[in-house]
Chain A
Amino acid sequence: MSAVISDSRKSPNSSVKGLYQNLTRRYLRRTKFKIGLVITLVVLVLALVSPWVVPYPDEGAGYVPPEASQREKEPPSLRFFFGTDTRGRDLFSRVIMGVRSAVIQITTVISLSLLIGLLAGVLAAYFKGVVEIILNYLVELFISIPAVIIALVLRLALGPGLMTVIASLVTTWWSWYARITYVYARSVMEMDYVTLARLSGLSPLKIMTRHVMRNVLTPVLVQAVTDMGSVLLEASTINFLGLGLPLNSPEWGVIMLEGLSVLEIAPWISAYPGFFLLVTALGFSLVGDTLREEIDPRLRRRWRLWF
C-alpha cells in the first residue's frame, strides 16, 4: 500500500455512506447494544439534570435539614421513594444525585488516563532507547499496584476528597492505556508508510499525530468505553472503604458505607446505591463490549480484563 497521507476531509462517495449506514444498522439490531445504550443515555441525562429532577436536591447534596432527625432510617414510602438514610435525608435524591458524581469521576479519570497514557505510549514507541526504558518501567510499576492501595497512600498524603479518588485511579489506569498504545504504536511504527514519512522529512509531531495516533486511537478508545464500568466500580470501592470522598457526599460507595452500620434495620440504604452501581456499570460494559466485537472481530486477541 502506498503511504496513506490521505485527507479525511475529502467528500465520501455514496458507497462509503452506505457502508457507514450499514454499520450503524448492525449495531442497533443487537439487543445487547440497545440495552447498554439505553442505560448509558439515561445515566448521562440524569447526570446533567439530576438537581432539577430530584424532589429534595439540597438533601441530595448532603445538607441535613433540622427536622430530618425526626425521620431517620424510614423505609420507602410515597414521600421518600427509597426511604431515608441515617440522618433522615431522602435516599432517592441522594442516589440520583450520585449519578452525577459517578459520571464526573468516570469521565475525569478516563480522559486524564487516556491523555497521559496515549502520550506516554506514543512517545515510548517513537523515541526508542532511554525514554522507552523509563516509560516501560513506570508502566510496570504502576500496573503492579492496585488503585485501592494508591488511594490509601494518597489518602494519608492528601486527605479525603475527590482528588484522592481521581488521582489514584488515574495513576493506575494511565499505565494500562500506555501499554496498549505502546504495543499498537510499535507495530504501526514498523509499517512502511511511516518509514517513508520519516524519510521524507515530515516533522516527528506530525508523524506521531497523523499516522501513529490515528491508527492507535480506535482500539484504545473502544477499550476506554469498556473500561468505564470497571472504573466506576473501582471508584466506588475506594469510596466505600472511606479512602475517597467524605461521608455525606452524594456518591454510591459512600452511601453504602453509611448504610452498612444499620444494615439490619435499614437495608434499603445500602441496597439501592449498589443496584444503581450494577446497572450503570452493566450499561457501559455492554456498549463497550459490542463496540469491541465490531472493531476487533475474530483475530486472536488477549482477553482484556477490565482492571
Chain B
Amino acid sequence: MPLSLNYLTKRIVWIFLVIIGVVVFSYTAIIISPGDPAVKWAGNPRGPNASLAIELARKELGLDKPPLIQVLKFVADVFTGNIGLSIAYKIPVFEVILRRLVATLELLLISYLIAIPLGVFLGIESALHRNGKLDTFLQSLGTVLANTPTFWVGAWLFLTLILLGAYPYGRVDPKIATATGFHPITGFYLIDALVEGNLIVFVNILSKIISPAIAIAIYPIGVLVRLTRALVSDALLEDYIRASVAWGVSRSVIIWRYALKAITPGLVQVIGLAFSYSLVDAMAVEYVVFGREGLGSLLIDSLNYGDFRLAVGLIIIVAVFYLLVNTLTDIIQALIDPKVRL
C-alpha cells in the first residue's frame, strides 16, 4: 500500500489547520466590513418596534459580543457543522451550498470529460509530428487557448445559441421537468435523469450543460495539448522505448500503452492543478453568462444581498475543495507511480 497512515493523518491535520486559518481570516474581514447585517436579518423592520427587532437580530447573530469571542465561536460552530441560516434566504447555509456545489461540480466534470481526451489526444498527435506543420499549429493553438478568457468564449457561445433560437439559461427547463415528473435526488441532474429513465429531461439537461462545459474546457485543452506534447516527447526518448522498437513491438502499443502510462503521473498532477483553477473559471461563467445556479451564483448573491454567512460558507467550501483536490491528486499519483511513496 503506497499510502501510509502517517501521510493521511498529517494531511488531515493540515487541512484542519488551514480551514481554521481560512475561517478566521474571512470572518475577521467581514467583521470589519461596513453595513449592518442585523437589519437584514431582522427583515428590514417597519413600524414603532423596528429598533427592537434590530436589537434582537443583533443578539441572534452574535454581533453584540466582542470580536474575538465572535471569531472563536464561529470557528467552533463551523466545526460542529453549523454555519447557521442564510440571511438572504432564511434556510440553512449548508443546504444552499451543497446544492450549488453539486451543480458546479457536475459542470466541471463534464468539461473535463471533454477536455482530457481531446487535449491528450491532440498532444500526442502533436508530439508524433514533432516540428511539423501539425505540431506548430497545435502548439500555437494550445497557447492561444490557454490564454483565452473563459467568460469571453462563454459569451460568444451564448450569443450564438440565442441567435439560433436556443435557450441556454439554467440547468433544466422547469416545464419539462414538472411535466415528466423529474425529481433531483443526488443533485447531479444528468445522473438523476438517467436513473429515473427520463430521457426527455436528460436530453434537455445535456443541451444546457454543453455550452458552458465547452467554454470551461477551452483552458484545460490548451494546457493539456502543450503539456502532453512535452511529456510524450520526453517519454519516447527513453531507453525502454527504443528497446521496444528494436524488439518489434507495434507502434500503437508503444505510443498508446507504454508512453501514455509513463506520462500519466505528470498528467494527473497538472490536471489536478487545472481542475482547481477551472473551479474559479466555472464560477465566473456559469451564473453571470449562463444563468445556472452554482457556486458562482452563490458568490454574486452573497454580494448582492450582503449575506456574510453565505460568503463565509462559500470561502470555506472552496478552500476545502482546493485542499481535497490536491490531496486526491497526490493519492492518485501514489497509486499509479511506484516511485512515489507517501
- Partner-B contacts on A (CB < 8 A): 137, 140-141, 144-149, 152-159, 229, 233-234, 236-237, 240-243, 256-257, 260, 263-264, 267, 270-271, 274-275, 277-278, 281-282, 285-286, 289, 302-303, 305, 307
Contacts and interface: CB of A to CB of B under 8 A. Distances in A.
A152 B315 contact: yes
B162 A149 contact: no
A23 B163 CA distance: 52
A143 B323 CA distance: 9
Interface string B285-307: 00011000000000110110010
11 contacts: A146-B277, A146-B280, A148-B283, A149-B318, A152-B314, A157-B30, A233-B147, A240-B288, A242-B303, A260-B155, A281-B147
Interface of B: 14, 17-18, 21-22, 25-26, 29-30, 32-34, 143-144, 146-149, 151-152, 155-156, 158-159, 162-163, 223, 227, 230, 266, 269-270, 273-274, 276-277, 279-281, 283-284, 288-289, 299-300, 302-303, 306, 308, 311, 314-315, 318-319, 322-323, 326
Contacts of A145: 22, 315, 318-319, 322
A51 B280 CA distance: 33
B147 A229 contact: yes
B288 A260 contact: yes
Contacts of B21: 137, 141
Contacts of B17: 137
A154 B322 contact: no
Contact of A305 (B266, B273, B284): B273
Given A156-B33, A157-B29, A263 B158 contact: yes
Given A264-B162, A278-B144, A148 B284 contact: yes
B14 A140 contact: yes
Nearest to B325: A144
A233 B315 CA distance: 21
- Main SS class of interface, B: helix
Contacts, number: 139
A277 B311 CA distance: 29
Nearest to A289: B143
Nearest to B283: A148
Given A144-B22, A156-B30, A267-B159, A240 B151 contact: yes
Contacts of A271: 152, 155-156
Given A154-B29, A243-B303, A289-B143, A274 B149 contact: yes
B151 A305 contact: no
A274 B22 contact: no
B322 A282 contact: no
A137 B30 CA distance: 22
Contacts of B276: 146
A237 B269 contact: no
A149 B315 contact: yes
Given A157-B29, A285-B147, A303-B227, 6 more contacts: A149-B314, A153-B29, A159-B34, A264-B159, A264-B162, A282-B144
A145 B270 CA distance: 18
Given A144-B319, A233-B149, A240-B151, A153 B144 contact: no
Contact of A144 (B18, B147, B299): B18
A159 B303 CA distance: 10
Contact of A237 (B22, B284, B315, B323): B284
B25 A274 contact: no
A157 B32 contact: yes
10 A-B pairs closest in CB distance: A274-B152, A157-B29, A157-B33, A281-B147, A141-B21, A153-B29, A156-B33, A146-B280, A282-B147, A144-B322
Contacts of A237: 149, 151, 280-281, 284
